[in-house]
Amino acid sequence: GESVGLHLPTLSVQEGDNSIINCAYSNSASDYFIWYKQESGKGPQFIIDIRSNMDKRQGQRVTVLLNKTVKHLSLQIAATQPGDSAVYFCAENYENRDDKIIFGKGTRLHILP
């Protein structure tokens, strides 16, 4: 079954607020995690990644947090904008994994005006 999943299928956030999208994984051997954003009619677009030797990584307006103790990953988007409306996927992999990167089912982020 899926080794990566998300806590909520849909998240609604007021424009300008911060968004937090959560993800749980079950494989303790996973050592590489990625967040993707998929807009309607497009393929997934890379947002940010993190390796297991880190617990936090920041990008432009985005931060990924990794808690290996509870096997939890989160994506924080600061000052959410209408253009952030999309489905967000977490994905995980570990070296030598036969079936490459595995994706969770996704969380749809709605931005409220």
Partner 1 sequence: KAGVTQTPRYLIKTRGQQVTLSCSPISGHRSVSWYQQTPGQGLQFLFEYFSETQRNKGNFPGRFSGRQFSNSRSEMNVSTLELGDSALYLCASSTGQDNEKLFFGSGTQLSVL
CB of 20 to partner 1, least distance (A): 21
Residue list 52-81, contact with partner 1 (CB under 8 A): none
Q: Which of 80/109 has CB closer to partner 1? A: 109
In the set 18, 46, 58, 79, which binds partner 1 (CB under 8 A)?
Answer: 46
Contact segment (CB under 8 A) with partner 1 among 12-20, 65-73, 77-85, 103-111 equals: 103-111
DSSP string, 59-100: -SSEEEEEETTTTEEEEEESS--GGG-EEEEEEEE-TT-TT-
Using alpha carbons, select from 19, 30, 3, 21 the residue that is nearest to residue 74. Answer: 21
